[in-house]
Amino acid sequence: MKILSMLIFVGLALIHILPLSGVLGGERLRDLYGIQAQGDLSILMRHRAVLFGLLSLISVLAAFKPEIRSVAALLLGLSMASFLVLAFLEAPFGAPIRKIVVADIV
Protein backbone atom coordinates (compact mmCIF):
# COMPACT_ATOMS: atom_id res chain seq x y z
CA MET A 1 0.00 0.00 0.00
CA LYS A 2 2.89 2.36 0.75
CA ILE A 3 4.33 1.91 -2.73
CA LEU A 4 0.90 2.36 -4.35
CA SER A 5 0.34 5.63 -2.46
CA MET A 6 3.78 6.83 -3.47
CA LEU A 7 3.15 5.96 -7.13
CA ILE A 8 -0.23 7.73 -7.11
CA PHE A 9 1.35 10.95 -5.83
CA VAL A 10 4.21 10.69 -8.32
CA GLY A 11 1.62 10.25 -11.08
CA LEU A 12 -0.27 13.30 -9.84
CA ALA A 13 2.98 15.26 -9.82
CA LEU A 14 3.61 14.32 -13.45
CA ILE A 15 0.10 15.35 -14.47
CA HIS A 16 0.33 18.67 -12.66
CA ILE A 17 3.81 19.55 -13.93
CA LEU A 18 2.65 19.67 -17.58
CA PRO A 19 0.86 23.06 -17.31
CA LEU A 20 3.95 24.61 -15.67
CA SER A 21 5.37 25.20 -19.13
CA GLY A 22 2.59 27.78 -19.57
CA VAL A 23 4.73 30.14 -17.49
CA LEU A 24 6.65 30.75 -20.73
CA GLY A 25 3.58 32.53 -22.08
CA GLY A 26 2.07 33.04 -25.54
CA GLU A 27 2.80 30.09 -27.78
CA ARG A 28 2.93 27.57 -24.95
CA LEU A 29 -0.41 28.75 -23.54
CA ARG A 30 -1.90 28.40 -27.01
CA ASP A 31 -0.56 24.84 -27.25
CA LEU A 32 -1.90 23.94 -23.82
CA TYR A 33 -5.33 25.58 -23.92
CA GLY A 34 -6.02 26.60 -27.49
CA ILE A 35 -6.29 30.28 -26.54
CA GLN A 36 -4.44 33.44 -27.46
CA ALA A 37 -3.43 34.89 -24.08
CA GLN A 38 -2.14 38.44 -24.05
CA GLY A 39 -1.95 41.22 -21.48
CA ASP A 40 -3.92 40.58 -18.31
CA LEU A 41 -5.08 37.15 -19.46
CA SER A 42 -1.47 36.14 -20.07
CA ILE A 43 -0.53 37.20 -16.54
CA LEU A 44 -3.41 35.20 -15.05
CA MET A 45 -2.66 32.11 -17.12
CA ARG A 46 1.05 32.25 -16.36
CA HIS A 47 0.23 32.57 -12.67
CA ARG A 48 -2.03 29.52 -13.06
CA ALA A 49 0.99 27.68 -14.47
CA VAL A 50 3.02 28.57 -11.37
CA LEU A 51 0.22 27.30 -9.13
CA PHE A 52 0.25 24.00 -11.02
CA GLY A 53 3.98 23.81 -10.43
CA LEU A 54 3.29 24.19 -6.71
CA LEU A 55 0.67 21.42 -6.86
CA SER A 56 3.25 19.24 -8.56
CA LEU A 57 5.78 20.04 -5.85
CA ILE A 58 3.39 19.14 -3.04
CA SER A 59 2.58 15.90 -4.89
CA VAL A 60 6.27 14.96 -5.02
CA LEU A 61 6.70 15.82 -1.35
CA ALA A 62 3.62 13.76 -0.44
CA ALA A 63 4.99 10.79 -2.37
CA PHE A 64 7.91 10.62 0.04
CA LYS A 65 6.42 12.18 3.19
CA PRO A 66 3.31 10.23 4.22
CA GLU A 67 2.51 12.73 6.97
CA ILE A 68 1.49 15.39 4.41
CA ARG A 69 -0.50 13.12 2.10
CA SER A 70 -3.90 14.07 3.51
CA VAL A 71 -3.23 17.80 3.06
CA ALA A 72 -1.83 17.19 -0.43
CA ALA A 73 -4.82 15.04 -1.37
CA LEU A 74 -7.19 17.74 -0.13
CA LEU A 75 -5.46 20.48 -2.14
CA LEU A 76 -5.25 18.36 -5.28
CA GLY A 77 -8.85 17.21 -4.93
CA LEU A 78 -10.14 20.75 -4.44
CA SER A 79 -8.17 21.95 -7.45
CA MET A 80 -9.52 19.23 -9.73
CA ALA A 81 -13.10 19.43 -8.42
CA SER A 82 -13.27 23.22 -8.74
CA PHE A 83 -12.01 23.03 -12.33
CA LEU A 84 -14.63 20.40 -13.21
CA VAL A 85 -17.43 22.49 -11.68
CA LEU A 86 -16.31 25.61 -13.55
CA ALA A 87 -15.90 23.71 -16.83
CA PHE A 88 -19.36 22.18 -16.66
CA LEU A 89 -20.92 25.52 -15.69
CA GLU A 90 -19.39 27.06 -18.83
CA ALA A 91 -20.02 24.09 -21.15
CA PRO A 92 -19.72 23.55 -24.02
CA PHE A 93 -15.94 23.77 -24.09
CA GLY A 94 -13.28 23.11 -26.72
CA ALA A 95 -10.96 20.17 -27.23
CA PRO A 96 -8.06 21.50 -25.11
CA ILE A 97 -10.36 21.94 -22.10
CA ARG A 98 -11.99 18.56 -22.78
CA LYS A 99 -8.56 16.91 -22.37
CA ILE A 100 -8.17 18.52 -18.95
CA VAL A 101 -11.70 17.51 -17.94
CA VAL A 102 -11.00 13.89 -18.90
CA ALA A 103 -7.67 13.91 -17.03
CA ASP A 104 -9.33 15.33 -13.91
CA ILE A 105 -12.13 12.75 -14.02
CA VAL A 106 -9.72 9.86 -14.48
Burial 39-72 (b: 16+ CB within 10 A, else e): eeebeebbebbeebbebbebbbebbeeeeebeeb
pLDDT of residue 14: 95
Tally of structural domains, the chain: 1
**Residues in contact with 57: Cβ distance below 8 Å, sequence separation at least 6, in sequence order:** 13
pLDDT of residue 96: 86
pLDDT of residue 6: 96
Q: Fill in the amino acid letter for 22.
A: G
Neighbours of 17 (CB within 10 A): 16
Boundaries of domain holding 52: 2-105
- Residue-wise pLDDT tens digits, 14-66: 999 999 999 999 899 999 988 899 999 999 999 999 999 999 999 999 999 99
The model's confidence at residue 81, banded by pLDDT at 50, 70 and 90, is very high
